[in-house]
Structure formats: structure tokens, C-alpha cells
Structure 1
Amino acid sequence: MLVGKLNTHAESGTDMGQVQQAKKRRRERRNDLLNKYPFCYFCGGLNPATTIDHVPPEACFPKAYYPEEFEFPACFSCNQGARKHDQIFALYSILSDFDDQKFGNGPDRVRLDGLINAVKRNYPSAMPDFDAAKGIHRSGHIYTSQPVAYSAKTTPEMQEAAKFMEGKLTHALYLREVGKIMTPAHRFVAGIYQPQLDHTGALTEYFQNLLPNVTIGARPNIKAYGDRFRYMSGYKDAEDFFVFAAQFGRGCIIWGIVCGPGMRDPNIGPAGSMKPKAGGCGPDRTP
């Protein structure tokens, strides 16, 4: 894992009228969502949806910075069962973000400090060893006197949280783009990487050339919202075939490939050597 620098400042502002309007729209979206999708998106539609899950997790963003219209119908068990992984992954995604302006922003600093304290308190073994982190003094072909980033070893708990988020985000974005819930009859593969690492350029280029649609997360009530979450996607209706690549800020990228019932297992591009999983793999698959 590469950790970015935290040394600049950016400002943002909100209008209270816009905030109230955003809250009203959010309530209306939640009611509409549960009416439209009465079953859980993450356990394959096996259980009734009684709560709203936020994907990407709210913990990945400062308070009230969560991008709008990324809410999904979930059963209580799938929603609550993801809390540990949501918190650990949020810390990973923020630490690996290379947006210097964002990390100088007050709300971002508060969120990062809060996550560090929460993970230390709740899941201390998930914390990376910052004391053992190594400075990286190279940006492209240029060597620098001061580190441009730090390399820290990811813990098993952080790797587990990242794997969990791969499946969670794949299920969520499939529903958002396709309008259907992934079932156990679907097959998918997913992965995560940092584009700042060597030998990842070809993978990023692969998704850029393959995926035609770009969606950028936003909150209209926040000025200078910044680059926080976006994804590219593509879907073939006839085959029920879905591909996406989502980036958290300027840091880690999660990608996924979904094949509908009756299709061959995904074996293109980065999925060629990976074992596919069945859809509906949330924490609670029992009706």
C-alpha cells in the first residue's frame, strides 16, 4: 500500500437551504428505493430489504460529503455485518488517496483522524505499521529529495476488508446500472489495485479503452466537492454482462466483471486466471 502526503489546504462551503433540500431529496430517494427494490441487493434478493446501505461506505468521506444517489436496499444482517469491513476499508481508501489538496481540507483531516482512532480502538490489528513505512523518493523517472509517498505493508484484516468491498461494490454498481439484483446464479470476479504502483498502467488503460460510461459522484450542496469517487462501466443486455472500474479519489481502484446466468465464467482481461464467485455473497444469505 502506498500512502500519500497530507500537507496542503483546500476550502469548501455549504448553503443551509441547499442542505435542507438535499436531506429532503435523500428521504424521498430512500422511500422510493425500498418500494422499487423490496429485497436485499447483497444476499441475492433472498431477504427483505429493511435498511439502506451506502456504497461506497459513508466512512470513506468526511461527514455530509457522501456522494448522492449511492444508496442500496439491504437486509439488516447484510448491512450491519459490513460495518467492520466498511470502517477498515475506509481508512485504507483514504490513506492511499494521492489528492494533496483534499487531505489539507479540514473535514478530510477530521475524518482521517477519526478513522485512525476508531480502527486503533476497535480493530487494532488492522492498523498498518507506520513506523516501518518506507519513503518513496521517485515520481515517474524523477527522483526527489523528499518522499513523494510512503510504502506500508497492508495487514491481513485490511486485505480482508478490501476483498469484502470488492464484492459489495460489484453488487451495488450492478444494481445501479442494470436495475436488477445479482443472484447466486450470477458469477463475478473482482480485484483492487493502486494505479500509482508500477506495472498497473496496462490494467488502467485496459479499462479506459473497454468501458464507455463514466459516472462521477457529487454533492450539489458542497462547493469545491473535489474528486472523491467515480467509476467507468459497460453493460451488454443480451448476455447480462457487466464490467466496471471504480476509483476512490486519486487512489485505489476496484474493478469487477459480472456474467449472468447461463454465461460462461468471466475469463477476459484481468479475470483470465481468477476463480469466479457466485453472486449474492453478502454476510447473510439465509432467507
Structure 2
Amino acid sequence: MGEKKSATKRLLEKYAYCCLCGGGVKANTREHVPPKALFDRSHRPNQMVVPACSACNEGTRTGDTVAAIVARWGFSEPTTAEREDSQRLIRGIANNHPDIQLEWLQNSGSVSQRQARRHLASYGAPIPNEAKFITIGPATLPYLNQFALKLTLGIYFEQTLRCFPSTGLFRAFLRFKEDFRGTGLPQKIIDIAGDPLALAQGAWNTREQFEYRAKYNPENGLFIHASRLRMGLFIVGMASEDRSVLPNELIADWISPGPLSKILDDPHYRDKL
């Protein structure tokens, strides 16, 4: 009897190149997009798994963790699993990236908390009386922007079973629950991106933890996705396989595929895009 092949080996036999850094680097790992950390107890269906190189896998690990934490910051009382997972993930950030945790807590004083409450209430956000407010700024945002771009490339691969080509351009937008006042994705985005999809296995469906919409047009190589990560983080990503079809006035913030680690050093990504 022959030796049973691992899931990683089977994937890499079909798809030899990393789908997260432009398709020019040999893949040697399989990457869960979105990560296991987003899901309760790190338990998710074995779907949307993409070929990746070690640099992309390891270099985006902190971004995965940060996104998994932020996605759990909702308006309602967390479940036991959410609370325990958050505590575990935050300990990891505190140990390895204390600057991020310090940013989250920098406005934890009573005066700052009251100001944050008034500010969000003025936008109509449904804020529970016991809610605490976290600061998300230039220490956190590069990791979230990196994650948003990675998710866009991962869903593109899931839809096409191809690496996004070096001839193309793509971009991603971050939105938090406060941006949508707790109501979820706007209807105009839903209309463009299509029907909701989720990771599911038999009767087990993880829609509450991750739901996405995606549309790919093979005729013009245009792609869009709109994703909800729990109820705390929303990402809209767009891509064009042929940059020449994009109007020049739109492509200033679009990028070519390349090492996602560069995002962390780019001042442009220290803000919410």
C-alpha cells in the first residue's frame, strides 16, 4: 500500500505557487483564509485553504491574530467561547507585540471613555451601557490592512483556483461595526457582490463567524468580495486582472501583488483604507 499523502502535499501537487504574493514563489505550506483563530475554539471547516509560501504564512500571522481579536469586539455580550478565545489571543499579542496592546488601552481612562461614547452615539451606533472602548490606530491598522489584502487574494483564489496575476491590481477597504451602526454591510454592496456564502460542513455552518459574498467576471477579469468577520470587522476587496481596464483616476490606491510583509512598513497603511 502506498503512503497516504498529507492535505498539504495534495494541495501543493495541484497548485505549486503561493497565491498570496503574486504567484512567482513556490508554495510550501497551506494557509487557512480566514485563519482558524477567527472561529470559536479555532475550529472551522477545512475549506478555503490556499497554497502559500513560508514567508506569507509566517509574515501574516500577527495580522491574522489582530483581525480575529477585533472581529470579536461586538455590541452585544460575548459568548463564553468568544471571551475565552479573546483572552488567549490578546495574551499572545501582549507577549509579542506590546505596542499594539498599549495602543488599544491608551484611552482607557474615564474621561476618554465618556468622550468615545458621546462620539459614537452621535453617529447612531447602538452602544450598550457597559461597553468599553478600544483605540485602533497606527500600531494596529497596518496589520488589519495586511489582513484585508490577504483575505482578498485568498477569496480570489477560492473563486478562480488561480493565483492573482502580476499583471493585475487589487485593493481592500476596512470597515468596523461602528461604520455601519451595527447593521452589517450596506445594501448597495450586497447587491453588487451577490449572495452570501459561508464555510460549512454538513449541518455545521459558521455563517455567524464568517460570511462573504464574491463575484468574479471571467470575461473582463474583474473581482469583488464583501466579507463580514463576526459582527466586528468588515472587508470589501476588489481586483482587476488587467490594470489597463481601470480608469487612471481610480488606481492610486490599487497595488500589484507582492510580499504582504511590505504592507507593515508602508506609512500609507497606518490609516483605515
In the alignment, does 2:129 pair up with 1:131? no
Alignment of 1:215 with 2:215, yes or no, is no
The answer as to whether partners of 2:198 and 2:206 remain within 8 angstroms in 1 is no
Which is further off, 79-88 or 172-181? Answer: 79-88
Does structure 1 retain, via aligned residues, the 8 Å contact 2:210–2:229?
yes
1 CA distance for matches of 2:199 and 2:252?
29
Gaps of 5+ in 2: 263-273
Q: Is contact 1:41–1:280 with CA below 8 Å preserved after alignment?
A: no
How far did 1:149 drift? Answer: 3.9
Match of 2:266 in 1: none
Instruction: State the Cα deviation string for residues 143-174 of structure 1 (Å, max 9, x = none).
Output: 88x52744322132210111101110111000
TM-score, normalised by the number of residues in structure 2: 0.78
Contact 2:125 2:182 in 1 (8 A): no
Query: Aligned residue for 2:157?
Result: 175
Q: Distance in 2 between matches of 1:142 and 1:160?
A: 25
Can you list the C-alpha shifts for 1:181-203, whole angstroms capped at 9, x where unaligned? 01221101211102433689797
Q: 1:265 to 1:201 in 2, by over 3 A?
A: farther
Could you say if the C-alpha distance between residues 90 and 141 of structure 1 is closer, same or farther in structure 2, counting changes exceeding 3 Å? closer
Matches within 5 A, 1:1-287: 29-95=7-73, 97-98=74-75, 100=77, 103-105=78-80, 107-127=81-101, 128-129=104-105, 131-132=108-109, 134=113, 136=117, 138=121, 147=129, 149-197=131-179, 204-220=186-202, 227-265=208-246, 272=250, 275-283=253-261
Cα RMSD over matched residues?
3.2
2:140 match: secondary structure:
helix
CA contact (8 A) 1:50 1:73 kept: yes
Any idea what SS the aligned residue of 2:214 has?
strand
- How far, CA to CA, are the matches of 2:6 and 2:40 in structure 1? 23
- Structure 1 unpaired stretches of 5+: 1-26
Report the alpha carbon displacement of residue 140 of structure 1 after superposing the two structures with TM.
Answer: 8.3
Give the conservation status (yes or no) of the 8 Å contact 2:184–2:231.
Answer: no
More helix by share: 2
Q: How far did 1:272 drift?
A: 4.8
Q: How far apart, CA to CA, are the structure 2 residues paired with 1:62 and 1:202?
A: 20
TM-score by length of 1: 0.75
Q: In structure 2, how many angstroms separate the alpha carbons of the residues matched to 1:226 and 1:185?
A: 33
Q: Pick closer, same or farther for the CA change 1:82–1:262 going to 2, 3 Å.
A: closer
Aligned 8 A contact 1:43 1:283 in 2: no
